[in-house]
């Protein structure tokens, strides 16, 4: 396990911040816990909305599929001190305690789970190469398509066709039950990846053009990515 401690000074320049974020990105490829004072007060961790100055950290966490565990203020009304992990089950019983004697940042106490269980999932896939196509052809040949589609609109016809094809697949296409280890973020699907890539491309474009229209497009794509991630997790 890799343990990293970070501090982003309010006066840090862009090059320093990029180097720190690059190190975090590299650390995300193995089991890691990264904690420290990131000084990003504008981030609402329940919605991931924030000012443009703190957006790179939100993008980094989403791109690396990290989990941020602190949900209560650690200095005044702000969540400045973060605990990031590569696996959600690595942190348990996180508490925000009183500040250190001469400091204004609260202490964070938690249990670190060094070994997390990797469960196996049975994934059923259709084995179309082993389907009984002779039986499928005979089945479809006796379907009265005219009667099935009579007096129906295009959407209703599609639903009827879909039901027939699903019935054929269930009857004549075998399944394979392959076991695989559960991946780090099982909710990451095609739509999530596409939304994140689109958001990142627009951010790069805005960073180059500094055009207000490009920034508005980026905000729209950022919100779309957040919504896709929420839908996938639920």
Per-residue pLDDT, 110: 94
Is the pTM higher than 0.75? The answer reads no
**Could you tell me the two tokens for 114?**
């060094």
What does the pLDDT average to over 83-108? 87
What DSSP assignment string belongs to 44-96?
Answer: BTTTTB--TTTHHHHHHHHHTT-EE---S-SBTTB--EEEEESSGGGEEEEEE
Per-residue pLDDT, 194: 83
Handedness of CA 34, 36, 38, 43 (dihedral sign): positive
How confident is residue 178, by pLDDT bands cut at 50, 70 and 90? low
Per-residue pLDDT, 99: 83
Whether 8 contacts 38, CB under 8 Å: yes
**Could you tell me the two tokens for 76?**
């005044």
How confident is residue 177, by pLDDT bands cut at 50, 70 and 90? low
Read off the pLDDT of residues 16-30 as tens digits, 9 standing for 90 and up: 999 999 999 999 888
Per-residue pLDDT, 133: 93
Residue 88 has pLDDT above 60, yes or no: yes
Q: Where are the beta strands (DSSP E) in the chain?
A: 2-7, 32-37, 67-68, 81-85, 91-99, 106-112, 120-126, 175-181
Q: Which residue has the tokens 């805005």?
A: 206
Per-residue pLDDT, 120: 56
**Rounded Cα distance, 116 and 226, in Å:** 26
Mean pLDDT of the chain: 86
Per-residue pLDDT, 34: 95
How confident is residue 184, by pLDDT bands cut at 50, 70 and 90? low
Instruction: Give the residue with greater pLDDT, 53 vs 115.
Output: 53
pLDDT above 70 as % of the chain? 91
Residue 190 has pLDDT above 80, yes or no: no
């Amino acid at each position: 396990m890799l343990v990293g401690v970070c501090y982003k000074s309010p006066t840090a320049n862009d090059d320093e911040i990029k180097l720190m974020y690059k190190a975090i990105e590299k650390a995300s490829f193995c089991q890691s816990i990264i904690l420290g004072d990131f000084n990003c007060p504008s981030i609402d961790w329940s919605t991931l909305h924030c000012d443009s100055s703190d957006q790179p950290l939100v993008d980094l966490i989403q791109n690396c599929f990290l989990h941020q565990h602190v949900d209560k203020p650690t200095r005044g009304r702000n969540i400045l001190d973060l605990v990031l992990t590569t696996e959600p089950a690595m942190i348990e019983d996180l508490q925000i305690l009183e500040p250190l004697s001469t400091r204004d940042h609260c202490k964070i106490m938690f249990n670190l789970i060094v070994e997390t269980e990797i469960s196996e999932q049975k994934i059923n896939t259709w084995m179309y190469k082993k389907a009984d196509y002779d039986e499928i052809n005979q089945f479809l040949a006796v379907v009265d398509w005219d009667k099935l589609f009579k007096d129906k609109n295009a959407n209703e016809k599609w639903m009827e066709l879909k039901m027939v094809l699903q019935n054929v697949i269930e009857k004549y296409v075998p399944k394979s039950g392959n076991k695989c280890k559960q991946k780090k973020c099982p909710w990451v699907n095609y739509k999530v990846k596409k939304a994140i890539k689109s958001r990142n491309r627009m951010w790069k474009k805005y960073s180059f053009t500094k055009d207000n229209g490009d920034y508005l497009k980026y905000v729209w794509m950022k919100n779309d990515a957040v919504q896709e991630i929420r839908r996938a997790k639920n």
